[in-house]
Chain A
Amino acid sequence: MYFDYAATTPPNDEVLKTFDTVNRDFWANPHALHRPGLRAEQLLEQARGQVLALLGAESGFRCIFTSGATESNNMAIRGTAYRFKKRGKHLITSAVEHPSVLTVFQSLESEGFDVTVLPVLGNGTVDPEELKNALRPDTTLVSLMHVNNEVGAINELPILGKVIKEGSDAVFHVDAAQSAGKLPIDLSKLQVDLLTFSAHKFYGLKGSGALLLPEKMVFKPLLYGGGQEFGLRSGTADPARAAAMAKALRLSLKNWEEDFAWVSKLRFQIQETLQKIPEVEINGSLDEGSPYIINCSVAGIKPETILQGLAEKKIYISTVSACSARQTAESFVVKAVTGDTKRAQHSIRISLASITAQDEVDGLCATLPELIETLR
């Protein structure tokens, strides 16, 4: 019983089939001038077009295939910060971003940039008013996540985009790693300039992600070389990963509404169970957040103990996000959301997916209260 889908999802069979077929039939270098190369390039470009179309980005945007959201975030944030450093050196992000965003800002700060880290509200979202007040004439970049990876809070992109564009000339970057494929994103209707995500969060493959950016935007790449991907990311492109991601995105967005309803139902059941256990507090919002992620703090028991206790019963949850799990026992996200160190030290995350089955949730709901009682 797996409840750690926010960390990663298993690749879909169809996606694996595409990956396999492309590697067998389209393995030529897409930049080669011969016919096999032309075929591989056509596939690569069609995959690119499909990704753009699925995100409402057909016109005015480019899609760059990367190794994942971490690389995309690094490229987008570093690239933008340095691109506009003559105009200003003020950057804005929030306290609950993924480490692949926060640490980039930390390194930029040490390179002389002025970074404002916005606090979040009790439900885990960024307050538009707070953002408005933080904007300055020299603000060049605002980077905020769409859905938080630990508590599932959903930032209101239309409102935040509007605030940014009305109050500044800043570029708006959104880390959509936890929302791409799960929630519809239409860039033609949002005031979002840059968007990043990873394929393995929606049944695609690891090592595969994208950065969407305005067609007219240029910045310094992280990787120099043969000038592939519009010169922004050199290295032989991988049509198989690109095709697999395009397919995974299409498949997961096809039924997003049904999936959302199904997962919401499961979340509700888990939430009800959690609320009945004494001294368990849900972190983030009960109704507004993404149903795919539930976070709670269990007073008096170390999260690792709960994790191990459940693992013995073959139920797998996580403590802090997998990306922070090896460094610290305290969730900086939960700390920022609740303002409570104790809660941050005792938080667990249960994350769901459209493939989560009813009997898995039943199993979790039967086991968890009992386990907590025994451990206490």
Chain B
Amino acid sequence: MQYDAILIRLGELFLKGKNKQRFIDRLFQTAKNKLAAFPELKLEKERDHFMVLLNGTDFEAVLKRLDLVFGIHSYALGTLCDSNMDAICETALPAAIRACGDGKSIKFESKRNWKKFELNSIEISQQVARYVGTHAPEGSIKFNVKQPDLAIRVFVKEHQTLIVSDVRQAAGGLPIGLNGRALLMLSGGLDSPVAGYYMMKRGLVVEGIHFESPPYTTARARQKVYDLAEKMAHYLPRGKMQVHMIPFTELQKAIFDHVPESYGMTVMRRMMYRVTENIANSRTIHLLANGESLGQVASQTPDSMWAINAVTNLPVIRPLACMDKVDIMETARKIDTYEISIRPFEDCCTVFVPKYPSTSPSLKKCEKYETFFDWAPLVEKCAQGVETVTIEAGKPIRLDADTTDEICSLL
């Protein structure tokens, strides 16, 4: 089934007050950018929805792009016809038969923006239903006026009428870019990109911070982070994500030289938070985020979180805190990061894992152990050594660009 038009219904923007228009404008612009690859289609802004005129463009391809735009609640897919009853009835008939073919019951609902139209909205619905009822093959239509599975909607405007016969769920959330920024601790595992996804869904622009410990971590770990960022970049304004790469080796070694083994992991994470806060400050970001989920590993018990979180005053959002692993995995698959995340390479969190990390560390002990060594210069050095990489959607960065050219010529 090919449709002529997609009516884009906006998400929870109705909750917004005076700044609603700003959200709508931003959403419109984002959607427009995402659809720039389809020269044939036209995107129009109406009062409380957008209208995509497909002009022959494959609607599935368009929806796939629009699925990357947060702030859209649902898509209504429809067929266009002239604004007269004959055309409307003829167009509604196949749509109704097809809808009922899927085993659904239907009813018609009409709306006329063009008040000069010959019939009022109730009369339109009645007449279309009567036409469909008499012209459809025997038994092919199931009406249910009270509780239909699908309401086929007829929107009559002056120049054309849209008949909507399918509704699909969109990405939801809020338009990205108007709710500020967050700094996401991006490890390379399954959880952090999913956490980033949920942050972006609430309209935040997310930047990543990644700790690497060469030579303990390899180039493949870095490639993994780049590839994850590329997937996340699809949701961001202009399709770009910034990732801050932190050289962590020296600090990490110092921790394992100066801190008792069972507290090594806790102190390491405290150091990571310190560096992260430092980077956030330098970029005037006031919100941290990560993929921690309660009870998953030793650092994610309530005691651990308390001991670790104590080093920063910035709010730390943990979108996955109460999610089950299977749900996280499902989202990772949906946003295409799953296959990347499961690539089996060491990251800095898995390099120096103590045999028995403390699952209920005490804050006092952390602070005591940290007095054995002057950490500030090393934390500062980590932050100074940051390398910021901008990763663009659809243009994955290959660590070895020459290789990419070489490979393309071979294939």
Enumerate chain A interface residues (CB-CB to B < 8 A).
18, 21-22, 25, 33-35, 38-39, 42-43, 46-47, 50, 243, 246-247, 250
Contact = CB atoms under 8 A, between A and B. Distances in A.
Nearest to A47: B411
Interface of B, helix, strand, loop or mixed by DSSP? helix
B403 A22 contact: no
A3 to B, nearest CB: 31
Given A39-B403, A42-B398, A42-B403, A33 B410 contact: no
Interface stretch (B117-125, B164-172, B216-224, B249-257): B216-224
Given A33-B218, A33-B345, A35-B219, A42 B407 contact: yes
Interface in B292-324: none
A46 B407 CA distance: 8
Interface residues of B, number: 15
Given A33-B218, A33-B345, A35-B219, A42 B404 contact: yes
Contacts of B400: 35, 38-39, 42
Given A33-B218, A33-B220, A42-B404, A21 B345 contact: no
Given A33-B345, A38-B220, A38-B223, A18 B403 contact: no
8 A-B pairs with least C-beta separation:
A18-B410, A39-B403, A43-B407, A246-B411, A46-B407, A33-B218, A50-B411, A243-B410
B82 to A, nearest CB: 32
B406 interface: yes
Interface string B374-411: 00000000000000000000000011100110111011
Contacts of B410: 18, 21-22, 43, 243, 247
Among A33, A47, A50, A247, find the residue whose CB has the most chain B CB atoms closer than 10 A: A33
A155 B223 CA distance: 44
Contacts of A25: 406
Contacts of A34: 218
A34 B404 CA distance: 17
A216 to B, nearest CB: 9
A22 to B, nearest CB: 6
B231 to A, nearest CB: 14
Contacts of A250: 411
A351 to B, nearest CB: 28
26 contacts: A18-B410, A18-B411, A21-B410, A33-B220, A33-B345, A35-B400, A38-B220, A38-B399, A38-B400, A39-B400, A42-B398, A42-B400, A42-B403, A42-B404, A43-B403, A46-B407, A46-B408, A46-B411, A47-B411, A50-B411, A243-B410, A243-B411, A246-B411, A247-B410, A247-B411, A250-B411
Nearest to A50: B411
A53 to B, nearest CB: 11
A217 B218 CA distance: 31
A345 B401 CA distance: 59
A239 to B, nearest CB: 9
Interface string B210-236: 000000001110010000000000000
Nearest to A188: B60
Among B219, B399, B408, B410, find the residue whose CB has the most chain A CB atoms closer than 10 A: B410
B95 to A, nearest CB: 22
A23 B375 CA distance: 49
Contacts of A18: 410-411
Among B220, B404, B407, find the residue whose CB has the most chain A CB atoms closer than 10 A: B407
Nearest to A37: B220
A43 B411 CA distance: 9
A42 B398 CA distance: 9
Interface in B92-133: none
A33 B214 CA distance: 13
Nearest to B343: A41
A193 to B, nearest CB: 19
Contacts of B220: 33, 38
A70 B94 CA distance: 46
Contacts of B408: 46
A209 to B, nearest CB: 17
A46 B406 CA distance: 12
A246 B403 CA distance: 17
A47 B269 CA distance: 40
Given A35-B219, A39-B403, A46-B411, 20 more contacts: A33-B218, A33-B220, A33-B345, A35-B400, A38-B219, A38-B223, A38-B399, A38-B400, A42-B398, A42-B403, A42-B404, A42-B407, A43-B407, A46-B407, A47-B411, A243-B410, A246-B411, A247-B410, A247-B411, A250-B411
Contacts of A35: 219, 400
B136 to A, nearest CB: 22
Nearest to B403: A39
Nearest to B346: A33
Contacts of A39: 400, 403
Nearest to A19: B410
A50 B410 CA distance: 12
A309 B398 CA distance: 58
A328 B195 CA distance: 63
Contacts of B399: 38
A302 B408 CA distance: 50
Contacts of A47: 411
Contacts of B218: 33-34
A247 B410 CA distance: 7
A50 B219 CA distance: 24
Contacts of B404: 42
A25 B405 CA distance: 13
Among B345, B403, B408, find the residue whose CB has the most chain A CB atoms closer than 10 A: B403
A75 B406 CA distance: 33
A45 B96 CA distance: 46
